[in-house]
């Protein structure tokens, strides 16, 4: 089972999740992309329950979902793909205190200091880098891609010029992602 973990304010019905869903369905590969709570503890608990109830799990995480993926892949010794991951979200999302957008329905939710403190509890210090494939684009306007490269020095790296935080053209890498995870 491949589990896709969306980023901050995202959903399991976002564009990238849907592209992955379509690709894996075409090849009859079990895949889910749950819509997770914005509350870090609730999101992690949901993901832990999914991991513990499926066999042969691997993960794909984007942005904040990449941070959750690092924690979960290390806890459960899973293979994982990270797409422009946030490796220090308590810093980057510290700038988003207050009301933040939900990109699915354009509603908003309140992002508080207690959420930042929750994120800190999932920080992994000794990462099993070889379990990871890292996809980064230098044109990421929200995160510094070099932080992820430094954090995961032994991961399989795919780093591209240009692009964006969403990782433009992710579909070009679906075959490599599938091969890495399976």
- Please determine, for residue 43, whether its predicted confidence score (pLDDT) is greater than 90: yes
- Please determine, for residue 31, whether its predicted confidence score (pLDDT) is greater than 90: yes
Mean pLDDT of 7-30: 97
Mean pLDDT of 90-115: 95
Pair 77, 131: CB distance under 8 Å: yes
Mean pLDDT of 34-47: 98
Number of structural domains in the chain: 1
pLDDT tens digits, residue range 105-121?
999 999 999 999 999 99
pLDDT of residue 129: 86
pLDDT of residue 119: 98
Residue 58 Cα to chain centre, angstroms: 12
- Please determine, for residue 147, whether its predicted confidence score (pLDDT) is greater than 90: yes
141: exposed, middle or buried (C-beta count within 10 Å: 0-12, 13-18, 19+)? Answer: exposed
pLDDT tens digits, residue range 50-87?
999 999 999 999 999 999 999 999 999 999 999 999 99
Please give the mean pLDDT across all residues of the chain: 97
pLDDT of residue 66: 98
Helices (H), the chain: 15-26, 40-53, 64-76, 89-92, 113-120, 145-151, 174-181
Reported confidence tier of residue 128, pLDDT bands at 50, 70, 90: confident
Reported confidence tier of residue 168, pLDDT bands at 50, 70, 90: very high
Residues of the chain above pLDDT 90, percent: 96
Query: Domain of 160?
Result: 2-181
pLDDT of residue 16: 97
- Please determine, for residue 11, whether its predicted confidence score (pLDDT) is greater than 90: yes
CATH at 39: 3.40.50.1820
- Rg for the chain (alpha carbons), in Å? 15
């Amino acid at each position: 089972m491949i589990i896709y973990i969306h980023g901050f304010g995202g959903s399991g019905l976002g564009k990238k999740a849907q592209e992955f869903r379509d690709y894996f369905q075409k090849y009859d590969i079990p895949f889910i992309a749950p819509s997770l709570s914005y509350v870090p503890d609730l999101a992690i608990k949901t993901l832990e329950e999914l991991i513990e109830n499926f066999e042969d799990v691997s993960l794909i995480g984007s942005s904040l979902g990449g941070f959750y993926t690092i924690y979960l892949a290390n806890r459960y010794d899973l293979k994982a793909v990270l797409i422009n991951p946030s490796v220090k979200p308590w810093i980057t999302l510290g700038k988003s205190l207050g009301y933040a957008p939900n990109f699915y329905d354009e509603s908003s939710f309140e992002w508080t200091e207690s959420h930042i403190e929750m994120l800190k509890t999932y920080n992994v210090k000794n990462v099993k880098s070889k379990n990871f494939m890292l996809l980064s684009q230098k044109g990421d306007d929200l995160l510094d891609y070099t932080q992820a490269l430094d954090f995961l020095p032994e991961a399989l790296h795919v780093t591209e010029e240009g692009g964006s935080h969403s990782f433009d053209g992710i579909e070009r890498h679906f075959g490599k992602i599938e091969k890495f995870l399976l």
